Structure 1
Amino acid sequence: MSPSNTQLPPRNRGGESKQPKGLQKKKKKKKSAFKSFLKFLLVVIIVAVLGVAGYVGWVALKVDKTILDTGNDNPVAPEASAKVKPITMILLGTDYRPKTGTHLTDVMMIAAFNPDTKSATVVSIPRDTRIELDGKVSKANAYYPYFLGKEKKSGVSALDEMKTMFSKYLDVPIDYATVINFQGFSDVVDALGGVNVNISMDMCYKDNADGTDINLTKGPAELKGEDALGYVRYRKSSSGCKPRTKESDDFSRNMRQSEVLHSLIDQMQTLSGVAKLGKVIDAVDENMEIDMEQIQLKNVISTYWNISKDNVKFMPVTGNWKSPYVYIDNDELDQAKQALKDEIAGKSVNLKDQNASNLIP
C-alpha cells in the first residue's frame, strides 16, 4: 500500500490507538528504510548523470585537441558550415606503414553529405582503374604518391591535386580530402574491440617483407585490427599458403570495405562504442591527414555523429579487368555521378526503399 494513501484512518479516532506499540515502531522503520532507499537511489542517479556529463566533457576536450592537431585554423563562413551546407570529401586509404614507406591509395572513396536529410552517399573507385591525366595513363592508386613526389616543385599539395583530378572525373566539386593509413585503420578497429563480418571465402596471403599474414576462414567472424585490414586488402593467395585460396578482384574488395564500414558505424553507435571514443580519436589523430578547417571538422562531427547506417548509401563502381587496368563501366560511373549530385541536392532520402543491392546489411 502506498505511504501517500490519504484514506487511512487517523491514529487516534476515539481514543488510544488499538495497534500494539511494537507494530507502530516496525512500520516506522519500514517507512524510514524506504526513504533511505529513495535517497540512495537519488544519489546513484546524480552520480551517474555527473559521470556521463563528465565523460561527455572529456570527449569534447579530446575532440578539440584532435581537431587542433589535425585541421587548419582558417575561418568558415556561417553559410558554408557543414551544419547547413552539403559537403563533399575524397577519402583515401594508403598502404603506408612503417615497414613499407609506400603511399599507394588502395582505398578511394568520394562521399557527399547532406545536413538536411542527415544522409550520405559514398562512391568507391577500384584501385586499378585506368585514368588518363595530362597525357599520362596510370592506375588510380598511383596518382597520390605521384603528386606527393611533385609537391615541393609544383607548390601544390597532393591532396589538392587529388581533389582536382576526381572533381573532373566525377563531375562534382570536391571540398575536402583526407588520408588515413593502414595502421590507423587497424588501430581504429582495435579501439572499438573488432568488427563483425561474414567472410565469403577462405583467404590466405603471407609476405615476410612487410609482415602481412592473412589467414581467414569462410563464415561469420569478429575480426581484430590486423585481420580486418587483411580482410579488406586481400587480393590473392601466396606460395606460402597451403592450400592456396581463391583470388579476389577490386570489386569484391570494395564490397568488403563497405561491409566493414557499416560494421564500424554499428560499433560506434553502441554504448560500449561511445565509451571507446577516446581511443578511436587517438588512433585517428596519429594516422590521419585532413585539409578541413578545425571549426568545420567540429561542424561535421556534431551534425553527422549519430547518422544512421541506413542513410549511408554505398555505390561501388565496377568494370572490366584487362591487365593491368580496370576499365570502368560507363553506365555505372554515370549512375555514381548522379547519386552524388542527388545527395548534394537533398534528393537522397528514404534509402531503405532504394535498390537493396547498394546497401550492405
Structure 2
Amino acid sequence: MGIRHKRAVQQSRQTSSATASRIYSRKNVSRYSERARKRRRGKIIRRSIVCTLLIMLITAGSAVALWFNSIVARLNDAGIITDELRAVLVDSDVAREPFYMLLLGTDGRPGEDTYRTDSIILARIDATTQQVTLISIPRDTKVEYKGSTMKINAVFTYGQMDDGNGAEEMVEAVNELCGVQISEYAEINFSGMETLIDAVGGIDLYIPEGDAVEGDEHLSVDVPSGQQHLDGEHALAFARSRYLYADGDYTRMRHQRMVLGALADKILNSLDVSTIPAILDSLADMVHTSLSVNDIIALVNAMRGMDTDSMYSANIPSWAGDDTYIDGQSYVFVYEDALREMMERVDAGEDPQGPQTMGEGGDSSATIGDLSENSSSDWSNGTATTSDDAEAESTESE
C-alpha cells in the first residue's frame, strides 16, 4: 500500500482593500457605509443637476411661449380683430394662393377708442408668383353706409360709434366698392409706422424732383429730393404731405405706395427673418392684424427675393371738383365702370392699368418703380412716362 499524502489545504486569496470596502462584513461596516453614502450623494447630485436642467428648459420654454403668446395677443388684439371682423373675412392660405388684404393707416394711439383712418390701401398679394398690387382709395370717396351718404373714412368712425370697432365696417365697405372679398386686415398708426421703419434700419427711396417735402407747415421735418435713406420720422413726413402738390391727396397716396414698396424691399430682401418676432414684439401695441405670426413669417419667406419695383400701383378711378360737393361737403366721386374694369384685371393678377392721379385710367400701366421716375406735376399734367411706355417705344422702333 502506497503512502497517502495529505492534500495541502489551498489558502484563500487575500481580498484587496478596495474590494473589501465593497463587501459588507462585520469587519468593514464603516468602510461599506461610507462608500454607500458617497454613492447616494452622487445619485442625488446627478438627479439634482438633471432636475435643474429640466426646470430651466421648462421655464425657458414657458417664458418663450408666454412671450410669443403675448405678441400674438397684441397683434391680434381682440378689441380690433373681433369675431365679427373674422366673420366677414374669407379664408385663404396666404403663402399658397392670392388673397386681398385691407391696409389702414390711422392717427390712433395706444389706449384710444376712437380715431380716424388717414390711408386706405387694398392690396392683392400672390406669393406663388411674387406679385403685389397696391390700390389706393381716397379717404374722401363717397359711399353709402346704412342708408346714408358719407366719406369712406367716416365708415370707420361710425363703426367705432356703433360697436367700438370700425374694422368690420371698413372691410364690408371696400368689398362692396371694389367688388372683392378681403381675406386679411391690418391697421397701423402713425407712431407704429415710424417705429417699424426705424426697427428695420430705415428705407432707401428715390424722391423725384418736385416731390420734395419742403416748408410744409403741418410737418416738423423736410425731405429733400434725390436718393435718400429715410428714418421713420422722415418717411412718415413724406407719406403724409399733401398741401405742397397740385393734385394734393393723390400725390400723398402715391407717396404712401412708394414708402410701402421701399419697406417691402427692406423686409423681403435685406432683413434677417429671425429678427421678425422681436420687431413684431416692439410694434405689437401699434400694429394690429388678422394674420398670425406664423402666417407673417411664411409670407415673408415665400416673397423673399421679390423685385418690389415691379409691384403694380394705382388709385381707384375717381375725381374731385366743383361738381363733387354734397350739402356743402367735398367728396371724391368714383368712375364706377372704370373701377369695375380695373378690378377685373386686378382680380386676374394682371396689370390694373389704373390711374395714378385723378382720372379713369385704363390706357397705361405703372409700377412702384415708375413712381420714383416721375414727379407730382408729371402725373397731374399727364406727362409721366413709365416702363410700359419705354417697352412700347422699343417695340415700335424695331
Q: Name structure 2 gaps, 5 residues minimum.
A: 1-63, 353-362, 371-398
- Tell me the residue number matched to 2:215: 204
- Tell me the residue number matched to 1:173: 181
- Tell me the residue number matched to 1:160: 168
The structural deviation recorded for 1:161 is 1.6
Residues 200-279 of structure 1: pairs in structure 2 closer than 5 A? 200-207=211-218, 212-236=219-243, 245-246=244-245, 249-271=248-270, 277=276
Task: Give yes or no for the alignment of 1:321 onto 2:327.
Answer: no
Residues in 2 aligned to 1:341 and 1:250: alpha-carbon distance in whole angstroms: 25
Residues in 2 aligned to 1:358 and 1:248: alpha-carbon distance in whole angstroms: 19
* CA RMSD, Structure 1 to Structure 2 (Å): 3.7
- Tell me the residue number matched to 1:282: 281
Task: Give yes or no for the alignment of 1:334 onto 2:334.
Answer: no
Q: 1:70 aligns with which of 65, 69, 75?
A: 75
Structure-2 change in CA distance of 1:182 and 1:138 (3 Å): same
Check the 8 A contact 1:126/1:326 in 2, yes or no: yes
Residues in 2 aligned to 1:348 and 1:147: alpha-carbon distance in whole angstroms: 33
Check the 8 A contact 1:262/1:309 in 2, yes or no: yes
Structure-2 change in CA distance of 1:201 and 1:69 (3 Å): closer
Per-residue CA deviation, residues 112-147 of structure 1 (Å, 9 max, x unaligned), is: 222432322221111121222232122222221221
Residue identity over aligned pairs, in percent, reads 23
Structure-2 change in CA distance of 1:330 and 1:303 (3 Å): same
Residues in 2 aligned to 1:272 and 1:297: alpha-carbon distance in whole angstroms: 14
Secondary structure of the corresponding residue to residue 165 of structure 1: helix
Check the 8 A contact 1:313/1:358 in 2, yes or no: yes
Letter in 2 for 1:337: M
Larger deviation, residues 323-332 vs 128-137: 323-332
The structural deviation recorded for 1:179 is 1.0
Per-residue CA deviation, residues 53-96 of structure 1 (Å, 9 max, x unaligned), is: xxxxxx99987763354238999xxx943233332211111122
Q: How many residues align?
A: 277
The structural deviation recorded for 1:180 is 0.8
Task: Give yes or no for the alignment of 1:109 onto 2:121.
Answer: yes
Secondary structure of the corresponding residue to residue 127 of structure 1: coil
Q: Name structure 1 gaps, 5 residues minimum.
A: 1-58, 237-244
Check the 8 A contact 1:92/1:179 in 2, yes or no: yes
- Tell me the residue number matched to 1:121: 133
- Tell me the residue number matched to 1:37: none
Residues in 1 aligned to 2:94 and 2:223: alpha-carbon distance in whole angstroms: 40
Structure-2 change in CA distance of 1:116 and 1:227 (3 Å): closer
Secondary structure of the corresponding residue to residue 116 of structure 1: coil
Residues in 2 aligned to 1:307 and 1:219: alpha-carbon distance in whole angstroms: 24
Secondary structure of the corresponding residue to residue 125 of structure 2: strand
TM-score by length of 1: 0.65
Residues in 2 aligned to 1:92 and 1:80: alpha-carbon distance in whole angstroms: 20
Structure-2 change in CA distance of 1:279 and 1:118 (3 Å): same
Structure-2 change in CA distance of 1:83 and 1:328 (3 Å): same
Task: Give yes or no for the alignment of 1:187 onto 2:195.
Answer: yes
Residues in 2 aligned to 1:214 and 1:167: alpha-carbon distance in whole angstroms: 36
Q: 1:360 aligns with which of 361, 366, 369?
A: 369
The structural deviation recorded for 1:307 is 3.7
Q: 2:106 aligns with which of 94, 107, 121?
A: 94
- Tell me the residue number matched to 2:41: none
Greater relative contact order (Cα < 8 A, sep 6+): 1
Q: Which structure would you say has the larger Rg?
A: 2
Residues in 2 aligned to 1:60 and 1:113: alpha-carbon distance in whole angstroms: 30
The structural deviation recorded for 1:186 is 0.6
The structural deviation recorded for 1:192 is 2.3
